[in-house]
Amino acid sequence: MRKTRQREAILAVLSGERRPLTPTEIVGLADQAVPGINLATVYRNLKLLAETGQVISVECFGQTARYEVAGLDHHHHFLCEDCDRLFDLPGCVEDFESIAPRGFEVRRHHVQLAGRCDECAAG
């Protein structure tokens, strides 16, 4: 895996922002560092970086997948329905297994809150 300006820019953008970003958001932000960076390049890199464990793909309810840097503690997300930004939430509620029927094997859980972020609520 080579070190390219495009890949560096993508990682820099993901590290710089504190929230999961869509490929389109990423290409817009990375374009400042690497003018003309291509959306296909971003998709290919995100896939590769996800496979090598450097970024995490964040699936959203009813929305395009977003990506964030790997290595964060277990956490969930908050979608602002006004500005459409996705935020990290610090903790986790537990005891999800308890609501699964007998015989079901729970391997993973996804939680997403939605509403208005502090900025939009204040505005």
Q: Which residues bind a second copy (CB under 8 A)?
A: 57, 59-62, 65, 76, 78, 81, 87, 89-93, 95-96, 98-118, 121-122
Please give the size of the binding site for DNA, defined by CB under 7 A.
24
Nearer to a second copy, 33 or 87 (CB): 87
Please check whether residue 21 is in contact with residue 11, taking contact to mean a CB–CB distance below 8 angstroms. Answer: no
Please check whether residue 25 is in contact with residue 94, taking contact to mean a CB–CB distance below 8 angstroms. Answer: no
Rounded Cα distance between 50 and 81, Å, is 27
Rounded Cα distance between 95 and 40, Å, is 40
Nearer to DNA, 3 or 102 (CB): 3
Chain positions contacting DNA, by CB under 7 A: 1-7, 22-24, 34, 36-41, 43-45, 47-48, 64-65
